[in-house]
Structure 1
Amino acid sequence: MEAILLRSRSLVVPAAATLLLAGLAVPAAPPAQAAPPPSAVPKPQQYATEAADVMSARVLARLSGKRVEALSERDESATTWVNPDGSLTSELSSGPIRFQRDGKWVDVDLTLEPAADGSIIPRAHPEGLRLGGAGGTRARSMAETRTAKARTLATIGEGDQQITLQWKGGLRSVQRMNTCFRQVCRVRVAESPLGHKNVAAAPRVRTGGQACLTT
């Protein structure tokens, strides 16, 4: 009997091909997304520091937690505030701290500045003070002052309410709110000396000049 030997053959698939096929079955990862921007920090709400009347100021003071000025109570020397708890606080000054100009409140400012005509004026004065600039020749004796030409030292007010202080003899320019001309006079610029809306320009005549008050 003849024996027949049968050999079985197996199919060998390369490993690389297997890996390639497996890779095709895996889905690709989604692209990375940028992180959302942080939310903007909200700014605190801004409240007005003044209101037309006490009732409106009381509402604003309660909302803001800070005191609010009631404009209806404002005058030349007083300021009234409404506090967050609803109470009122009034601040009083011995003289004017503000005045009306063209229908608006203006703070008093006694800083002296030269004017176009050579005089010296405060930046903001309730009575329109004007001081004379430098000029004239200082008299060497009291006798010379009698014939010397009078010069305006200070003017305040307008119209029939105007008061002018004149000086016979030369003076240097007033540059500060409190200026002393040695042995002649002292000039003090103020918003309200002695509680009145005036400006003190008080002469202390010794030598070299003579004061004349014109009203």
Structure 2
Amino acid sequence: MRILVIEDNESVSSMIELFFEKEGIYGEFVKDGLQGYEQAVSGNWDCLIIDWMLPGMDGVTICRKLRKAEVAVPIIMLTAKNSESDQVLGLEMGADDYVTKPFSPLALMARIKAVTRRYLIAKEDRVDVVTLKTKHFTINTATREVLLDGKPVPNLTPKEFDLLHFFIQHPKQVFSREQLLDRVWGYDFYGDDRTVDVHIKRLRSKVSKPDQPFFHTVWGVGYRFDETTGEQE
């Protein structure tokens, strides 16, 4: 596994590097955002770990430019910002996940393993075109394309695609945030379930219609996907 870390804090980089060595991961560390972006575009990486605040180019801009350039690699944002608006911005720009500072190295490793595992599985299965069709959606898991009523849904982040695909496979079933973290993100619940709420909010903004919200909130429990017409609960 090859991971590029764009982080200007030496103590954080050193901590991550120690865990990479323990896990047998090749890591390359860059302190400058612009240099990091150039290496991200030109290199062959299994995962990118990007700090929010960087000299040269900030992490959100790096993420946005990579997705615009159609660089299909999992991205984890490191940030000291923990407000929902900041998380929405990072995820909207194409990050698959975020980790707030200070963080547990074990939690970071769990997230790295989860996002890279899903990407590797997708690469291995790319030769097998799997098309999933419902009343309104058509999903191609090989090309990761989504059609809504026959029209392409643009700008879905990798994790938004994974979440939509999971819900479509389990229509009308209610899932808690903890279950979604485990089933879609692939790691145990560590205490911050806001990433699920942010992704649901982003998906609603991209695919829902006034009379067809698709993603329903089941108060006190979690979320369910339902293509029948009706207002959110």
TM-score by length of 2: 0.23
Instruction: Pick the structure with more strand per residue.
Output: 1
